A and B are shown apart, each in its own frame.
Chain A
Amino acid sequence: DAGVIQSPRHEVTEMGQEVTLRCKPISGHNSLFWYRQTMMRGLELLIYFNNNVPIDDSGMPEDRFSAKMPNASFSTLKIQPSEPRDSAVYFCASSFYGRGDTEAFFGQGTRLTVV
């Protein structure tokens, strides 16, 4: 398996533009997480899906952020409109939760810069 695949790896956009980050989890995994990492706030959990259903989106900063998981192999995180304070590295991670637990595997991250 190729692991968790995120795209794009880098994104530079102007304030006010819409940004869409994409994630393909590992096949067979039923949990998917979106995290945001900044120097000031560390790794923040934005939203968590289990079996494609959003379970906890309490970490989504505000209504400008939205996430979808239309099927088990694809998820998006959208920011509209983007602001400079959204600049961060966004990670997607997936894991299998069933009988017992396994570690979460992370994608390479998307480095977002909003200017």
Chain B
Amino acid sequence: AQKITQTQPGMFVQEKEAVTLDCTYDTSDQSYGLFWYKQPSSGEMIFLIYQGSYDEQNATEGRYSLNFQKARKSANLVISASQLGDSAMYFCAMREFGAGSYQLTFGKGTKLSVIP
């Protein structure tokens, strides 16, 4: 079974609007971390935001916020006031801290296109 599921292969958003990118995860560990990365067309992987499983508040970093719903095992990324430079692939990832294996597993990604 996939550990990270991103159901939106592609999304469009109007410039200056907000957009939500979906991510659900599967783990039996109590302790884990959730990450979002951005990959522009140039190819580099850029870290955006992190949420720990024990964090009670949703993480925020500038225009990025993570809508963490633990019971539903979802960690959606919200980008407010979209900019043209936000057009990129976005990856959700999880790191599990149980059982001594700390690998970082990625979803398939969502391609976001910001329309002027």
Contacts and interface: CB of A to CB of B under 8 A. Distances in A.
A108 B95 contact: no
A5 to B, nearest CB: 13
B101 A108 contact: no
Interface stretch (A14-22, A43-51, A64-72, A75-83): A43-51
- Report the 7 A-B pairs with minimum CB-CB distance, sorted nearest first: A106-B45, A43-B106, A103-B47, A42-B108, A48-B103, A101-B33, A56-B103
Interface of B: 33, 35, 37, 43-45, 47, 50, 52, 91, 95, 97, 100-109
A61 interface: no
A102 B103 CA distance: 13
A10 to B, nearest CB: 11
Contacts of A97: 102
A33 B44 contact: no
Nearest to B52: A101
